[in-house]
Each structure stands twice: as structure tokens, then as C-alpha cells.
Chain A
Amino acid sequence: MIKSIKTWILVGFASLLLVACGQGGGGAGSKKSKTLDNTKKAGFVKCGVSQGLPGFSNADASGNWSGIDVDVCRAVAAAVLGDADKVKYTPLSAKERFTALTSGEIDVLARNTTWTLSRDADIGLTFVGVNFYDGQGFMVRKNSGINSVNDFKNGISACTNTGTTTELNMRDFFNSKNISYEPIAFEKADEVVQAYDAGRCDTYTTDKSGLAAQRTKMSNPDEHKVLPETISKEPLGPVVRQGDSVWEDIVRWSLNTMIEAEEYGVNSSNASSLKESENPAIKRLVGAEGELGAAFGLDNEWSLRIIEQVGNYGESYKKHIADTGILPNRGPNELWTKGGILYVPPAR
């Protein structure tokens, strides 16, 4: 409940941590990765996730985390430590997430975070890829008579989360349409939902996947609908600290492996049997050919473990996003070979 204070203290603390901890971070360009060494020593991957977003990172009643963001961390753990369960999850608010990463409290941030230039270049972070292509949309009441963003008029009030790209996109959008609006920005998603539900604002705007997930929390979900327009690009992906290029590569290729595995039809049940495959690309994926793992100081079965223990991207999406009813249709998050935009560089 006392989230704002807690957040504050956490941010302050993380800043202090940054101040207090000794010389850290690996030298750029060298083959040695301090983060990898530390992870192996600790025996778990330190992963930052959301405070609960169904489909992406959400904890069940017994505290087990699941979601497509969580699967990225599990993939890294499977690759580096040989066991996908060896992950320590740290739930973070939007405000805490970057400080927690730069200060070393976590080593991978997989928290539905939008890849933008300023975040990538300015604050000591590196985005390693995209695990979900999202876009910002609007939710309104069905009986409002608003059927498109073109029906918005001057004086509309819009609720959203503070400190997200959403807040900035919202301004760009209303400015471009020349509509004056009342922005009401809350720190936590739960409060946004409550305020919108009570009638404080006429529309609720965030990533469309988020809208779909939050709609289920309304007192009467059927009274609300998401407008068809998408007003922004929101490529969500995992983030690492700048300056440890080996660790960066490990996280990037753990994610890429999941997507590449789907492309070649390798999944958690058939992976080990495909060692005898005719296709060299598949053989490389399951570690039967080449010495790819050596490039970042791992053994050759790192990718096989990811596929066996976590599954390929399609399996992960189906389990967490489609089967839970959040977004049954994969849309842009389909492979490039099937009309989507998921396209990863070849693992060779």
C-alpha cells in the first residue's frame, strides 16, 4: 500500500548501492565477463521483473513467476547455469527498474520495457532484442459512443501510468490531433484501473497487451472496449547493463535461440531427438554441430538446454499470452515466415 514511499526508499537505496559498492562491471571488449563469473558463483541469475502483469511476468499464489518476460530469464539461467529454475526474481516498479539494473541489484531486466534511443544510449543500459512487439492503444466505455480516436474531443481526461513511454506518446498523440486533454498519471497500474473504473477519466491508455490484461480487472469487463487504433511502436525487450559485452551477447542469443528454434520447428519435446537432423541449422541449435557456445564461454549444449527447459518462443507465447486469453492472435509477434515481424539473425 505504501508503495510511493517504498519506491522512493528503493530508488534512494539503489542510488546508495551504486555509490557504496566497489568497483564493478567488466571491462568492455575483453572476453572476460564479470557478470557471468558472478552469476556462476552465486548460482542464480538476478532478474528484474514487473510487479505483476499477466502474460509477461506474474507470480501465482505460491510465488512462482511465469510469463514471456520470465521465460527470457529462465532461458539465460538454463544457458549459463544449466537449470532454468535458478533465477532470483526482483519485482520492480517502472521507477525502480533502471536504477536496479545499473546499480547491479539485478543483471537482466525483463520487464515489458520499451526500447527507445534515449534509454539505450543515455543511461548506461543496452537493449538486447525484442520479445514482444506492442503498441499503445486506448480503452473507453462501450456506451460512450467513442468508436475511434477521431471521436476524442477537447477536454477529454485520460488516465495512464507515470514514467512510461505511454505518458510521452499520449502527449504526442493529442498534440498532433490538436486536442486539449487532462492527463492523470498514477504510479501503479492498479490505481489507474480503479480511477478509470470509477469514472475519473474517460479513457485509459497504455500498451494494448496491458489494456487487454487490465480489462479483466474491471468491475464489469464487458462494459469496456479497446479502440482499434495503435498510436505508437512499443518494442518490449530485455535490457542489460552497458559495458559487459559478453553478458549482453549471452542474453541476446538466449532470446534469439528461442525465436530461431520456433522458426526451425524445434520445441521442448523434440529438441534432443533432432541431434541427428539433416539440417545443419537445426544441428547447431541443439548443439550437435559447431562450437557456438565457446564464443561466450559456455559449453555447446547451452541452446539445447534453453529449448528443452523453457521451450521455443511459440510455446512460450501460447502458454502465457494466447492460452490465458490476453491476446489470442499473435499479430506482429508471429514469425517473419508467417506474416509477422519476428526475425532474428542466424545462429552460426
Chain B
Amino acid sequence: MNFKKLNIENKKIRDLIPQAITVLALLSAIIYFATNAQINMGNRGISFGFGFLNQEASFDITFSMIEYDGSHSYGRAFLVGLLNTILVSAIGIFFATIMGVIVGISRLSDNYLIAKVAEWYVEIFRNIPLILQIFFWYFAALRALPLPENAISFYDISFLTIKGWYVPKFVWANFNIFLLSVIAAFIAIYFINSYATKQREQFGKQIPSTIISLATLIFIPLTTFLFLGVSLTFEYPVLKQLSPTVFTYAGGVSIIPELIALALALSMYTATFIAENVRAGILGVGKGQKEAAASIGLNKNQILKLVVMPQALRIIIPPTTNQYLNLTKNSSLAAAIAYPDIVLVFAGTALMQTGRAIEIISITMLTYLTLSISISIFMNWYNKKMAIKEK
């Protein structure tokens, strides 16, 4: 007994030694590089520190979701860049997913034309380097847009020009009450749905929960307009003359062409990969599954929703997570077309103004790492939720 235990311990120790050596070597390498950098920077009169983040940035940024101008700090500029990166990634992921699903299903369509169009779309857009697509959408497509005085007008409330897409601005009164009502509606929907599930499972009663949920979502916020003083008005963009031939739009919200071009390029490109994932996922569900589902009397929609998709999603989610991560990282190409993302604003302008390369590049790398890991954690959670649950 004793002898055997000792033996196991021995093996454990044996296994530990190479690992300990690796960790030690890695640590000493890191310490060596860090001290070496410190010595070299010291010799060259470069100071190291993050104090610059509090200094005034003194450069302006085209587009910001939070209040910002040059009198704010570099730290604030970092935040502006980060939010812009998150914005374009979120928009990109949203449209890439929708387009990817549509194209992926279309490729499996019985209709020859639809299937072929989808196939060509995938083959063209995934085989052209992304940076070229970004330049294409920015320089070629946007050059085709008119100057503000000849804007493409949508019912005279929204205008598309080379300087951006001008849309009406929402002017809210008591927005927080409205927000609370939306949250309340969602909580109500949660309870309605769990009640409906219970009814179905216990008594076999089908409650039209989707319709009830929708009605709740509309009805509860609507009451705040009627009784609680919430109001929404619109500020419309108006054409403004700056000089005899120079025009722009004032008022409303301007969606800058850089954002449109980048979001378009990112989602068109990534959608091709997601489409292939979707196709693979659906094809990966055995034919017998559908036939079995049909034989117990499920209709076509039910088969897709209850039998095919749950199984297909298990195949689709992991590679699609990769595509989401790629899209987020690819958004750093924004710098090429002046979209003020974190790379342009922080690892670009701020780096050049302060000269603090090591600090800024490390912060930027850590930021992308954090972003990617967050997406990854969320998708892993979703994947687990969708995975087979053994009962």
C-alpha cells in the first residue's frame, strides 16, 4: 500500500519537474525582457508610465458616442476609440449573422437561381482581401454618392450624401421612465413564457405566448406615453449653406460614411464564412431526423424549429464564434479609411502625440484580448446552453 502510494507520488513529482522548469524559464524570460526594456529606455531618456492618460489629448475625433473634444484626456480618447470599435463590431456581427443565415439557407434552396446567387456571393466576397473590400466600399461606392446639395432624400426626413447619412435625431422627454417600462415589459414576458411552458408541459395546453409577449412589449411602453409624460419628438436634418458651393446638413444625427463603409465591408465579408457554417450545420443533421420528425406529425416549421435547428446550432456555433472574433479584430483595419476606432485614435494619434509606444501598444493589445475573450465567454455559454442535455 505504502509503496504504491509513494510510487504515484513519485510519478506526480516526475511530471511536475518539466512543468516547473518551463514556468521558471518563461518567468525569467519575461523578467529579463522587462528589465532590459527598462534599462534601455532609461539609457535613451524615455520614461515609462501611464500618467499621460490624464493629460489633455488636444486632438478632436470625428465621431464619438460619448461627449468628447480635444480638452478631454487621452484616457477619454481611449474610451471613445474603444466604444467605436465595439459599435462597428456589434453592427458588423448583427448584419453578418442575419446575412450569413439567409445566404447559408439559400445555398441549400431547391430554387436553382437562389442557390447559385448565394454560391457566387460566397465565392466572390470571401476570396477578396478584406482591406480591398473596405477601400472599395469607401472610395468606389461612396464616390458615387451625391454632394449634400443633391442628396438622395428619403421622404425629406433622411438624406444620404457623400458626407454621411443624416437621419432624424430622437429627442426624448422622461426617457428613463420609458426605459424602465421596457425592462418591466421584458420581465413580464419572461413570466408569461415560463407560465406557458408549464401549461404546455403539464396539461398539454398551447398558449399563443409569442403574440401575448409582443402585445406586452408594445402595450406597457405605450402607456408611459399616455399617462407618465414620456414624449418623443424628432429633430430633422436641414440643408445648410457654408459658402456659394459648399453645403452640409445641420441637426439630426450624421452616420459618417466611414462607419457605413466599414460595417458594410466587415459584414459582407464575414457573412460568407457564417453562411458556410450554417450550410454545414444544416447538412450535418441526419436525414433520418427530419423523416422521424415528419412521421410523428410535426409540420415543416416545427421540424426546422424543434428538430433541425437545435442540432444544427451545435455544429454552427463554435466556428461562428471564430468569425465573430475575426470580425472584431478585423475592425482594426478602420484606420485605413479614417474611422476613429481604437487603433486609429489610440494606437495611432495618441501614440504619435505622446510617443509612448510600449504603454499604448500594450493597452491596445490587452483591450483586444479582453474584447475577444468576452465574446468567446459569451459564445461558450450560449454553446453550452445549446449543447445536448442528457436527461
Contacts and interface: CB of A to CB of B under 8 A. Distances in A.
Contact of B338 (A7, A11, A184): A184
B348 A163 contact: yes
Interface residues of B, number: 60
A95 interface: yes
Given A143-B244, A202-B242, 20 more contacts: A4-B332, A20-B33, A94-B352, A95-B352, A98-B352, A102-B355, A122-B354, A124-B355, A146-B246, A157-B248, A163-B351, A163-B352, A172-B58, A185-B344, A187-B338, A191-B337, A198-B142, A198-B143, A242-B45, A243-B45
Contacts of B132: 1
A95 B40 contact: no
Interface in B27-50: 33-34, 36-37, 39-41, 43-47
Interface in A33-63: none
B357 A1 contact: no
Given A14-B357, A200-B163, A167 B131 contact: no
Contacts of B33: 19-20
Contact of A162 (B47, B257, B348): B348
B332 A167 contact: no
Given A1-B131, A5-B333, A8-B347, A163 B353 contact: yes
A123 to B, nearest CB: 3
Contacts of B348: 95, 162-163, 187
B43 A23 contact: yes
B325 interface: no
7 contacts: A24-B44, A124-B45, A141-B245, A144-B246, A146-B246, A184-B62, A200-B257
Sort chain A's interface into a size bin.
Answer: 35 or more
Interface string A274-290: 00000000000000000
A229 to B, nearest CB: 16
Interface in B134-148: 135, 139, 142-143, 147
Dominant secondary structure of chain A at its interface with chain B: mixed
B240 interface: yes
A168 B336 contact: no
Interface in A14-33: 14-15, 18-25
Interface in A233-279: 241-243
A243 B240 CA distance: 55
A124 B48 CA distance: 11
Interface string A187-215: 11001001100111110000000000000
Contacts, number: 190
A183 B46 contact: no
A156 interface: yes
B58 A8 contact: no
Contacts of A141: 245
A201 to B, nearest CB: 8
Contacts of A15: 357-358, 361
Contacts of A143: 244-245
A199 B147 contact: yes
A294 interface: no
